Amino acid sequence: MSKENPIFALLRNEKAHPCNSGNETTPLNIFNYSGIGALIPKGNGPNEFNIQSQFSSSELRTMCSATAYALIATEMALEDAKWKPTDEIDKQDTGVAVGVGMIDLVDVCTTYEALKKGYNKVNPYFIPRILPNMAAGQISIKYGFRGPNHSVSTACATGAHAIGDAFRFIRGGQTSVMVCGGAEACISPLAIAAFCRLRALSTSRNDCPEEASRPFDRERDGFVMGEGTAILVLEELTHALSRNAKIYAEMLGYGLSGDAVHLTAPSEDGTGAILAMDRAVKDAGIDASEITFISAHATSTPLGDAIELKAIESFMGQHSENVTVSSTKGAHGHLLGAAGNLEAAFTVLAIKHGVIPPTLNLQNLDTETCLNFAPNAKKDWKPVSRRVALKNAFGFGGTNACLCVADYKE
């Protein structure tokens, strides 16, 4: 069983919200439906991000914002991992698995308007900009990584699937190091309107956006769309030890499943989530009783959160009373294709530091359950033996992923 070294990098804004991913839950005055988005603050001020300062105008012409975010986070992750190989063999032994959940609809709309003015007005890089695999491609090109060059686009499970696939590439002996994760930057009037038409977004707290995303809470009414990225570096254990790499946690297992029920709604009995968790635990070769923390997908939708809790309790059975469930989406919103990897990074940090992150805005749980929670405050994590966690991620089309991660023991 190979063991990995997840290293993460986030675009941060510490002032925006405690425990957040760099996003600021902000009223969007240009929209009159949901009106809320968890945006990376743009500008030149403190805790603001200026993308133009990171790339030349010619570089920005070739990439969408999600790709730019992924490139910046990758640089941070590789610096932290101290892995920027110059040797050709090492470059061939390093791969990339980074996905994007949704293409930039602003790019599509803008290009369509440009086409009305004439063929020559269309950006020749329009197609590369909107292809979901271009974040992985740009990273591979920048650093000369010639290992697996992989991209997955499975809606809101994208980031978790990317990490799981990277894990399998290493375990299968195809490479020793993988740069992996997901990126998303698709907040636009069209995207907001479309999700509102699905009745997926929160609309009841437009005047107090910091309270809108409230996983598991009785008054939840939908998710808050976010943007950003998180990049992890996974590494085969012998390889990591040989170069004295900093090891945050150990990747144990990966499970996938399909609901096979509905385009946007999960199966009511939670079968898909149960199968993904069960397969991750079996892949890890552990007993479910060893799990004491589950980082939930919980997006703050009435149906989805309730079904996930039902699935977790069904899967954990009599061990449910020993499990704490948390969703960090109350702090940073729902990053769609970058949700699973961002929350996997939080899970890794929880393992490393023995602290379970809080579920913000959880005031009144609307489900009777034996499971434990961390409402509005972090919780010390002191299991009997080692810290073992599951990270769930689910997406439209009934696609499910689950990662099993634990603290590293020599």
* Least confidently predicted of 13-27, 170-184, 343-357: 13-27
Query: What pLDDT shows up at residue 123?
Result: 95
Which DSSP symbol is given to 120? G
User: Distances in Å between the alpha carbon of 76 and those of 11, 39, 149, 394?
Assistant: 9, 20, 20, 27
Catalytic entry in 297, 332, 402, 404: 297
Query: What pLDDT shows up at residue 18?
Result: 29
Q: Which of 50, 226, 59, 75 is nearest to 128 (CA)?
A: 59
Query: What pLDDT shows up at residue 10?
Result: 32
Cβ count near 221 (within 10 Å): 17
The number of residues in the chain equals: 410
Query: What pLDDT shows up at residue 383?
Result: 80
What's the alpha-carbon Rg for the chain, to the nearest Å? 20
Report how far residue 185's alpha carbon sits from residue 101's, in angstroms, rounded to the nearest whole number: 9
**How high is the mean pLDDT of the chain?**
91
Residue with the bigger pLDDT between 2 and 84: it is: 84
Average pLDDT on 211-216 reads 97
156 a catalytic residue: yes
Query: What pLDDT shows up at residue 36?
Result: 86
HEC profile of 13-43: CCCCCCCCCCCEEEECCCCCCCCEEEECCEC
Find out whether 354 and 342 touch, Cβ atoms under 8 Å: no
Catalytic entry in 332, 334, 402, 404: 334
pLDDT band at 292 (very low <50, low <70, confident <90, very high): very high
The residues, any chain, with a CB within 8 Å of residue 316's CB and separated by 6 or more, are 288, 291, 323, 371
128 pLDDT higher than 70: yes
Give percent of the chain above pLDDT 90.
86
161 a catalytic residue: no
Residue with the bigger pLDDT between 90 and 260: it is: 90
pLDDT band at 222 (very low <50, low <70, confident <90, very high): very high
Catalytic entry in 156, 180, 186, 402: 156
Report how far residue 221's alpha carbon sits from residue 213's, in angstroms, rounded to the nearest whole number: 8
Report how far residue 43's alpha carbon sits from residue 293's, in angstroms, rounded to the nearest whole number: 37
Report how far residue 326's alpha carbon sits from residue 149's, in angstroms, rounded to the nearest whole number: 32
Average pLDDT on 116-132 reads 96
15 pLDDT higher than 60: no
119 pLDDT higher than 80: yes
Query: What pLDDT shows up at residue 1?
Result: 33
pLDDT band at 264 (very low <50, low <70, confident <90, very high): confident
212 pLDDT higher than 90: yes
The residues, any chain, with a CB within 8 Å of residue 19's CB and separated by 6 or more, are 328, 331, 346, 357, 358, 360, 378
332 a catalytic residue: no
Report how far residue 375's alpha carbon sits from residue 378's, in angstroms, rounded to the nearest whole number: 8
For the segment 302-322, what is each residue's pLDDT rounded down to a tens digit? 999 999 999 999 999 999 999
The residues, any chain, with a CB within 8 Å of residue 111's CB and separated by 6 or more, are 122, 123, 126
Average pLDDT on 165-182 reads 98
Query: What pLDDT shows up at residue 11?
Result: 30
Report how far residue 336's alpha carbon sits from residue 154's, in angstroms, rounded to the nearest whole number: 10
Please name the residue ranges forming H helices in 95-223. 105-117, 126-130, 134-143, 158-171, 189-197
Query: What pLDDT shows up at residue 33?
Result: 66
Residue with the bigger pLDDT between 35 and 107: it is: 107
126 pLDDT higher than 70: yes
The residues, any chain, with a CB within 8 Å of residue 201's CB and separated by 6 or more, are 33, 34, 36, 192, 195, 222, 223, 224, 225
Query: What pLDDT shows up at residue 7?
Result: 29
Burial 59-96 (b: 16+ CB within 10 A, else e): ebebbbbbbbbbbbbbbbbbeebebebeeeebbebbbb
Report how far residue 382's alpha carbon sits from residue 385's, in angstroms, rounded to the nearest whole number: 8
Average pLDDT on 250-267 reads 92
Query: What pLDDT shows up at residue 25?
Result: 65
